[in-house]
Amino acid sequence: MPQGTTRQLLPKCTLLKMEGVLNREIGIFLRYFLGWESLNVVCTVAPDNPCDLPLKKRVKIANSYNKKETLFVSIHCNACKNHKGSGFEIYTTKGLTQSDELAERIADNVQVLYDKMHLKLRYDFSDGDKDKEADFYVLRHTKCPAVLIECLFFDNRKEYELLKMMTFQLDVAYAIYLGILEYLYN
């Protein structure tokens, strides 16, 4: 690399955060909010550990709890090959399950926030609800209601800038929290 090239690149990328770091930051806030309800919150991926846990182990942790008293919420930031993707998505398994109701409640609350911010919501209404259905391992193998959330696209510059802002992380975590509460108490 020619001398000076690194210095020319640095001002353009002030602070880079990997997807896992962003996911954990949002998850920490969600855990905090859920703590207000005296709920037992278990993180399958340690908030302070950058190492990923294999999907099989995440499912094993979730399935070690009573399925009638457990929810599995997997928080992510999305990416796409052309780096032009944008918006929020929430996934459940195929078919109509309790996960669909959880996803709907979370999506409704996230929509309030995202509408205010003029952010895209990527829904699939083909089966009458907002969630997209996918055969993701963590959704297919958990015994309790489970959702996988893609908060925004971390490879979209505008959305990445939002994702790394603590205020946005707090807001999206709070919206997810409200959706979980509606599912639990309504």
Domain count, the chain: 1
What is the C-alpha to C-alpha distance for residues 88 and 98, in angstroms, rounded to an integer? 21
Helices 98-117 and 166-185 meet at what angle, rounded to 10?
Answer: 140
- Reading the chain (186 residues) residue by residue, the pLDDT tens digits are 344 433 344 344 445 688 888 999 999 999 999 999 999 999 988 878 777 889 999 999 999 999 999 999 999 999 999 989 999 999 999 999 999 999 999 999 999 999 999 999 999 998 889 999 999 999 999 999 999 999 999 999 999 999 999 999 999 999 999 999 999 998
SS3 state at 183: helix
* pLDDT given at position 51: 79
In-domain check, residue 66: yes
* pLDDT given at position 45: 84
In-domain check, residue 1: no
The DSSP letter of residue 76 is E
* pLDDT given at position 15: 55
Q: How far is CA 93 from CA 20, 81, 137, in A?
A: 23, 24, 9
In-domain check, residue 2: no
In-domain check, residue 126: yes
Beta-carbon contacts of 180 under 8 Å, excluding residues fewer than 6 positions away, are 34, 71, 73, 102, 105, 106
In-domain check, residue 7: no
What is the C-alpha to C-alpha distance for residues 111 and 16, in angstroms, rounded to an integer? 27
* pLDDT given at position 17: 82
- Token match 């609800």: residue? 129
SS3 state at 30: helix
Q: 76: closest CA among 16, 161, 145, 18?
A: 18
Asked if 77 contacts 150 with a C-beta cutoff of 8 angstroms, the reply is yes
Q: Containing domain of residue 58, as a range? A: 16-185
Q: What is the CATH number of the domain that holds 143?
A: 3.40.630.40
In-domain check, residue 43: yes
In-domain check, residue 8: no
In-domain check, residue 3: no
* pLDDT given at position 48: 80
